[in-house]
Amino acid sequence: MDQPQALEQAQTPGKVWRSLLRRPASPGDGLFRVTTLLAALSLLGLLLAMVVYLFGAAWPAIAHFGMGFLMRSTWDPVREVFGALPAIYGTLVTSALAMLVAVPVSLGTAIFLAELAPGWLRAPASFLVEMLAAIPSVVLGLWGIFVMAPVLQPVERWLAESLGFVPFFRGPVFGGVGFLAGGLILSVMALPIITAVARDAILTVPASQREAMLALGATRWEAIRHAVLPYTRSGLVAASILGLGRALGETMAVTMVIGNGYRLTARLFAPGNTMASKIATQFNEASGLETNALVELALVLFAVALIVNVVGRLLVRWTVARVAGGGH
Amino acid sequence: MIREERTPQSEKAAPHSGPCIVSEGLGAWYGSLQALRNISMSILAKRVTAVIGPSGCGKSTFIRCLNRMHEVVPAARVSGKVLLDGEDVYAPGVDPVEVRRRVGMVFQKPNPFPTMSVFDNVAAGLKLNGLRAPGGLAERVEKALRQAALWDEVKDKLKQGGAALSGGQQQRLCIARALAVEPEVLLMDEPCSSLDPIATARIEDLVRELCDRYTIVIVTHNMQQAARVSDMTAFFLMGQDRAGELIEYGETQQVFTNPKDERTEAYITGRFG
Amino acid sequence: MIASARTHARRKATNYIMIALCGLATLAAVGVLLLVVGYTLLQGIAYLNLGFVTQTARPLGEPGGGMRHEIVGTIVLVGLASALGIPVGLLAGTYLSEFGGRVGSVVRLVADVLTGIPSVVVGIFVYVVLVRPMGTFSALSGAVALAIIMLPVVARTTEEMMKLVPQTYREAALALGIPRWRVIVSVVVPGAMVGIVTGSMLALARIAGETAPLIFTALGNRFGFAGLDEPIAALPLQIWRYAVSPYDTWHQQAWAAAFLLVMLVLVISVLVRWLTAWRRG
């Protein structure tokens, strides 16, 4: 064996590694590599299969409705006319509401966990916030129906009475379910992931940045606001985008508290549907063209969630690379 | 750049000057680990005081106690007094924010704010203190950059990112940033240790110029630098229990040519450290 | 330059207010968790008894009864899904970590994309490729849907954990003349084992609570396990159906079932934390 010579001539760890890899492979190596490669490629195959088969199953509806599918507002199984607009609208509204609530609360929590919390509190509090991510969607929906909605109802009533001139707050109120409830429950689901990613982003800011600001005579908050947060701005944006991605894909919790409406309306207390909830409630009762239309809806949801998640992940990777490589 | 021969700071005749920062029985801990024990010394106003000693003897900890930066580290605490112009900065009710404005700091590695331009870096401290009128800011920024001997090099680049400068320029930018808020004291924690010799020389020149206006305390592990730059020198050493102690403090000339303590002599002559 | 005392007071006030707001935000986040978990535990434990686990559903209107079919169903689905998803995920993760390369980068991106796919879309996909051709809803298709959700998660976690094993271990083993595949199996995998196990446990906890993909695949079954090619009951599915029903007795059963799910998730989370700490210490 030429092993000892190989090791003597090698001078860098990289050369050692590559020289070791050039050894004649044992038969097991080839088999192992092929097996793992096949497993890895199965992921690729899975994604491709999903695109192909979903597209194929949606094709009759795509061919029939064309772009009008995204613009139409009716869902009529009897006359076989289907339009996705209210569902898309519902997804957008609930996600926007969710972000409106979740982003400030998550950022505040992330700042607290990363910068302000006393040492003994950090780990337990972080653990608790992460636990929120582990609660199954259907359990949260259950809680939403029986705990959140009854509490939300008087609040919505009060808002409808006092601020009803604003289109968002016009009544009637449907027992606490509707777009607002959907948005709130989604914010609960988005919160843990935004907090976790944002907290990690803040933790990567070098201490010298904060210290430089403090040494100039800044208060703790001023140091956070002017030195720490700007440094990791892209990480915070990435966190929010990932939270949005989570909210977009959510099904059960939203389905259980959004009522079951299918109209374009600005009223937050009205029942509605998201793309996910429409599919969940309608699919098993559908047949023929309606099934195709629902698959097409799934395809739209797939595309939207995909884009948002990929953008979010790329942003996270870019942020990490920037801090690691060009960090000051 | 040709350097002229200059007389070391320590050989110039120094008129008598009063104390500016005084530590009395200063002790510092990181959790239960004591880092400094019973440091009592009087830092003279408008002079350069060098703090020397082997690694780990508490030099950086000491100056961080002077501007209440030590307590930023979790579980850190301080005992004793630090008198700035006669008032104890650790007295209850004293706001560390105010202390840090009066006692500025330059760190070992230059740390300009990367998301801010050169101008905004220097102006950062001013904006915190409520000075926002653009005219007033521009004046102050120029003044600080001139004091830091950086104005000519960056006057056309004020809007560019603070991190695009060379290492030496970045450090002078940090000095300008610290000077902009007009502190009384400037603490410098091994400011040249990550710079090349030319940049180091420029900063040493700068220190000598600045001491007309500011009290400067400079931590350095480079004895030649201490000898060149300072009026007074303090020698720290780690004691038996790893807590730093002040061994000797006096005029630089005297400490280097005629040290009173044999440990000082051993360090100066390179027998350890 | 002396700043005005008013500016200084304002800055101090802003400081306190913002810090308090951040603390409040944390309180809100933790508070919601405690509200949800607490309420579930309280409600669930009121209606949970041994009969819940051992008995099946009673006819409507009769109190009592349990969700034995659903519990068994979830166990079957999760077990089968894990048997499908974990081995493939492990192998894929091994490839990503040990062989990498251009193929590896593409697969890694694909895995990240797959983790972001809404679970309802996965369910629709399995409906199209399995349920329709088979002509029936089935436990198999439900398990396949859950496995698809599990697969990319397990793959990425495995990859991350194996990458944490220091390169020097591999080099030392290779230098002893051990074939590469053996090095991976006998040196790297054991070194990453705790992380791989915890990652798989977390993926398992996640799919145990998944509902949407099962709606179109497993469907649910009021009569217990009838074979892999028949519909099968599942705990989260039944929680949903009970929750949206108008009957109080069914609501109670939903809470008890939710209690079980939350307990499962809690236990696994704590176990994972403990295992991770044990490995580090």
Q: At what angle do helices C101-115 and C68-98 cross, to 10 degrees?
A: 150
A45: Cβ–Cβ under 8 A, 6 or more apart, which residues?
none
Give the residue from A132, A82, A125, A86 showing the smallest Cα distance to A246. A132
| B6 falls within a domain | no
Which has more pLDDT, A320 or B229? B229
Report the pLDDT averaged over residues B75-99.
Answer: 92
pLDDT digits (tens, 9 = 90+) for B45-76: 999 999 999 988 899 999 999 999 999 988 89
Checking B18-21 for CB contacts under 8 A at 24+ apart, the result is: B18/B44, B18/B45, B19/B43, B19/B44, B19/B45, B20/B44, B20/B45, B20/B46, B20/B84, B20/B85, B20/B184, B20/B185, B20/B215, B21/B66, B21/B82, B21/B83, B21/B84, B21/B103, B21/B185, B21/B215, B21/B217
Q: pLDDT grade, residue B133 (50/70/90)?
A: low
Q: Which residues of B122-161 are buried (b: 16+ CB within 10 A; e: fewer)?
A: bbbbbbbbebeeeeebeebbbbbbebbbbbebbeeebeeb
The number of folded domains in chain B is 1
> In a 10 Å sphere around its CB, with 0-12 CB exposed, 13-18 middle and 19+ buried, how is residue B266 labelled?
middle
- On average, the pLDDT of chain A sits at 89
Interface of A with B (CB under 8 A): 119, 206, 208-219, 222, 226-227, 230-231, 233, 328
Does CATH place domain C67-280 in 3.40.50.1980?
no
pTM for the whole thing?
0.88
Report the pLDDT averaged over residues A251-266.
Answer: 92
Report the pLDDT averaged over residues C260-266.
Answer: 93
Q: Determine contact: B129 vs chain C, CB below 8 A.
A: yes
CA-to-CA dists, residue C106 to A40, A41, A49, A61, A311, angstroms: 10, 10, 16, 32, 16
Which helix (H) or strand (E) element contains residue C63? none
Report the pLDDT averaged over residues C103-131.
Answer: 93
| B42 falls within a domain | yes
Q: Which of A142-146, A310-314, B199-203, C4-8 has the lowest mean pLDDT?
A: C4-8
Of B95, B130, B181, the CB nearest to C7: B130
| B7 falls within a domain | no
pLDDT for residue B4: 46
| B91 falls within a domain | yes
| B108 falls within a domain | yes
Of C36, C95, C182, the CB nearest to A28: C182
Q: Which residues of B30-47 are buried (b: 16+ CB within 10 A; e: fewer)?
A: eeeebbbbbbebbbbbbb
Give the residue from A278, A271, A114 showing the smallest Cα distance to A197. A114
Give the residue from C70, C67, C74 showing the smallest Cα distance to C53. C67
Beta bridge partners of B36: B28, B244
Chain B 176-195, residues with CB within 8 Å of chain C CB atoms: 181-182
Q: What strands, in cross-sheet order, belong to the sheet with B76-84?
A: B87-88, B76-84, B19-30, B33-44, B244-251, B232-238, B48-52, B215-219, B185-189, B103-106
Residue C277 in this model has a pLDDT that exceeds 90: no
Q: Give the mutation candidate from B122, B128, B129 for the C interface (greatest C CB count, under 10 A).
A: B129
Cross-chain Cβ contact A116/C255 below 8 Å = no
Q: What percent of chain B has pLDDT over 90?
A: 67
Give the residue from C195, C194, C188 showing the smallest Cα distance to C169. C188
| B166 falls within a domain | no
CA dihedral sign of residues C89, C94, C95, C101:
positive
pLDDT for residue A4: 53
Domains of chain A: 3-64 (no CATH), 68-326 (1.10.3720.10)
pLDDT for residue A308: 92
DSSP string, A72-100: ---EETTTTEE--HHHHHHHHHHHHHHHH
Beta bridge partners of B248: B235
pLDDT for residue B135: 73
Chain B 239-268, residues with CB within 8 Å of chain C CB atoms: none
Q: Which of A107-111, B98-102, C53-57 has the lowest mean pLDDT?
A: C53-57
Chains with 3+ CB–CB pairs under 8 A to C are A, B
Report the pLDDT averaged over residues C218-238.
Answer: 88
pLDDT for residue B185: 94
| B194 falls within a domain | yes
CA distance A245 to A315: 13
- Min Cα separation A324/chain B (Å): 14
CA-to-CA dists, residue C107 to A37, A306, C89, C92, C113, angstroms: 10, 16, 12, 9, 10
pLDDT for residue B2: 44
- On average, the pLDDT of chain C sits at 91
Which has more pLDDT, A141 or A328? A141
CATH number of the domain at B68, please: 3.40.50.300
Contact criterion met (CB below 8 Å) for B102 and B184? yes
Which helix (H) or strand (E) element contains residue C126? helix C119-126
A134: Cβ–Cβ under 8 A, 6 or more apart, which residues?
C202, C205, C206, C265, C269
| B134 falls within a domain | no
Tokens of B249: 């403090």
Domain span at residue B23 reads: 18-115+185-268
The domain segmentation of chain C, as residue ranges, is 67-280
Chain C 103-162, residues with CB within 8 Å of chain A CB atoms: 103-104, 106-107, 110-122, 124-125, 127-129, 148, 151-152, 155
pLDDT for residue A10: 47
Report the pLDDT averaged over residues C69-82.
Answer: 94
- One-letter amino acid of C155: A
Contact criterion met (CB below 8 Å) for B94 and B85? no
* Three-state DSSP class for residue C279: helix
CA distance B143 to B156: 15
